[in-house]
Structure 1
């Protein structure tokens, strides 16, 4: 039983999708990760997406490039939140993927992060789950505090050394 489903259409998406998994690992969220092509194996994809709710999945993170149908098809079949990650492509730099994912028809929303935004997809999934999980919310708040502290440290260093020595 996995709380988050991570799906990608190709193993070439793995470096980006791994960043989502790393964030889920950091927050202690269980997930399953699959490589499924909606175009090359539609029967397998339909079975996986339609069965996600029964497997205990609460959020799907779907990464796709070019035509990028995977996130939208997940949203069409899965009744809970879907987060789409547009992949950077060699053809159009990922803008094709971004447009394909973000321009969903009314009634079939896909929350979309930046091109190659695997880390943010993992964080967004955690934030969605934290709406009903106080312990997870505490972990997210601690993470935000860590990010703030890192910026403060960098500014302190800048103020002490000046930009030339930074």
Structure 2
């Protein structure tokens, strides 16, 4: 019986800590101007120190068209991810998990050549998945999770 009070106190503190976690939503980056109000999702959600980044494609915000080739597409989508991460007060090196969907698995090397240039430290855990076709003819869709360094 004497262990009930400490256990109850620990549960209450954990609940209070979870309730105190601040959540902030960010608009999607890189969405063409014609679709700014259309997406039914947040571009990213910061919950405490963890940023959850929604799927982001390699569409030019000005034209709504994907990159002309895989290298340009990779740069476009990673620039968008970088902007999202930085808007939340984090850096690309805070990414801990990244998932890449590619319309053509043959673009693996082209994507990697660009991807490496966005990190200074250790690389995040990652998956590269062939998806056959992506929304709007995109070459890539990238999503991930970043944790704010202390």
What is the TM-score normalised by the length of structure 1?
0.31
Highest CA radius of gyration, 1 or 2? Answer: 2
User: Which structure shows the higher helix fraction?
Assistant: 1
User: Which structure shows the higher strand fraction?
Assistant: 2
